[in-house]
Amino acid sequence: MGAGGPIRHDPCSNPQERPSFTMHTILERQQLSPNVTRLVLEAPRIAEIRQPGQFVIVHAARGAERIPLTIADADAKAGTISLVIQAVGKSTNDLVELGPGDAIADIAGPLGRPTELPDHGHAVCVGGGVGTAVILPIAQELHRRGVAVTSIIGGRSREWVILEPELAACGTVITCTDDGSYGRPGFVTQALADVLAPGDVDEVFAVGPVPMMRAVAEMTRPLGVQTTVSLNPVMVDGTGMCGGCRVTIDGATRYACVDGPEFDGHLVDFRELADRLSTYRPFEQAALERRACEIGLRTKPKADADSSTPAAGANA
Ligand code: FAD
Ligand code: FES
Ligand code: MG
């Protein structure tokens, strides 16, 4: 063996062996609420074939984790899709830091089964928090088919309400805020009770935190109103291979990435879903804390950074 040690084969040194990636350039970034951001990015193939209810798995860069995000909107002509991202942990915070000109390494999709939509009648779309972004393409397609749409959306206060103008273009919107600072005071479920009262609702679509979807399903069950919810278990590959996203529907195991993510809300085991969602909390918290430390080091004030360099202090 020569003095230089073992010769390793680096596939990336040969252009023909390099994996081919199509980067997805971000064209627009818009802040929708204090922690929700919309990114519009290039993804022409996905934009052309996506349907309501479908999502993508985003792999922002080499070494990053893969996370599922709903295709909130798409423009097939422009070849773009919109992702609406709530910054909750490391990966989502990394993503919302990106802006026009930045690129995402890899986006797999569209994944999941499209929403089964009616062609007539009255549908109610209930969105809690970032779940409103999942409701939007459903409301748009219902409206396009001629279904009467009532959307009920909620937020803590006015600044947390998202996508109201976009949903207003699809029908009636009832906005609820916890503190009453905008729209109707109270929770979306209270508004839903009033909308259900006349008895003319044919179907309900509900997407949001697990307790909200469970509460909606319990309200519609005794009325026999068909209720579709979109489940958000932890996903890894998005292809039915890893088993990470398993949920229990009507007593049977299903994989949300390929059998869902939408299911009949009256058949979902919400308690199991809530338990499984909290499984990785300590690891997620640790990843977020590591990220905060890294950012702290990157953005350390110059004076501090200089004083930690012995040479700077010695020669000053
Ligand atoms: P972490 O700190 O790692 O996790 C925070 C919480 O997010 C966890 O407790 C867990 O509940 C959930 N989570 C973590 N990792 C995953 C994962 N790999 N898959 C699913 N959930 C995870 N969020 C949006 O903001 N906009 C969307 O349009 C959207 N669409 C989704 C569609 C589907 C089908 C699913 C399953 C989830 C969707 N989510 C969406 C949730 C989003 O994937 C998580 O918020 C994100 O993965 C959190 O990653 P993190 O590293 O920032 O947070
Ligand atoms: Fe792996 Fe669904 S994400 S099986
Ligand atoms: Mg994470």
User: What is the per-residue pLDDT across 55-84, written as a single tens digit (0 to 9) for each?
Assistant: 999 999 888 999 999 999 999 999 999 999
Separation between Cα atoms, residue 35 and residue 142, nearest integer Å: 28
Q: Report pTM.
A: 0.86
Question: Which ligand is closest to the CA of 285, given by its number?
Answer: 1
Question: Which residue, by CA, sits nearest to atom 53 of ligand 1?
Answer: 89
End-to-end CA distance of the chain: 49
Q: If you measure from the C-alpha of residue 240 to the centroid of ligand 2, how many angstroms do you get, rounded to a whole number?
A: 4
User: CATH 3.40.50.80: does it fit domain 122-277?
Assistant: yes
Q: Is 129 left (phi over 0), alpha (psi -120 to 50) or beta?
A: left
Q: If you measure from the C-alpha of residue 124 to the centroid of ligand 1, how many angstroms do you get, rounded to a whole number?
A: 25
Name the residue of 46, 51, 69 whose CB sits within 8 Å of the most ligand 1 atoms, as the mutation to test its pocket.
Answer: 69
Cβ 176 under 6 angstroms from ligand 1: no
Cβ 204 under 6 angstroms from ligand 1: no
Q: What is the CA radius of gyration of the chain?
A: 23
122-277 shares the fold of 21-111:
no
For ligand 2, residues with CB inside 6 Å are: 235-238, 240-245, 255, 257
Token readout for 68 is: 């599922």
Query: 21-111 falls under which CATH superfamily?
Result: Translation factors (2.40.30.10)
Q: If you measure from the C-alpha of residue 91 to the centroid of ligand 2, how many angstroms do you get, rounded to a whole number?
A: 18
Q: If you measure from the C-alpha of residue 127 to the centroid of ligand 1, how many angstroms do you get, rounded to a whole number?
A: 16
Would you call 119 exposed, middle or buried from its count of C-beta atoms within 10 A (0-12, 13-18, 19+)? exposed
Nearest atom within ligand 2 for CA of residue 244: 1
pLDDT tens, residue by residue, 255-296: 999 999 999 999 999 999 998 877 667 677 777 777 777 776
Separation between Cα atoms, residue 178 and residue 113, nearest integer Å: 33
Q: Is 207 left (phi over 0), alpha (psi -120 to 50) or beta?
A: beta
Cβ 54 under 6 angstroms from ligand 1: no
What b/e sequence results for 80-109 when a residue is b if at least 16 CB atoms lie within 10 Å of its CB, and e otherwise?
bbbbbbbbebbbbbbbbebeeebebebbbb
pLDDT for 314 beyond 70: no
Domain ranges, ordered by start, for the chain: 21-111, 122-277
Nearest Cα to 44, choosing from 20, 77, 12, 72? Answer: 77
pLDDT for 6 beyond 60: no
Percentage of the chain beyond pLDDT 90 is 76
Cβ 70 under 6 angstroms from ligand 1: yes
Nearest atom within ligand 2 for CA of residue 240: 4
Nearest atom within ligand 2 for CA of residue 256: 2
pLDDT tens, residue by residue, 92-110: 999 999 999 999 999 999 9
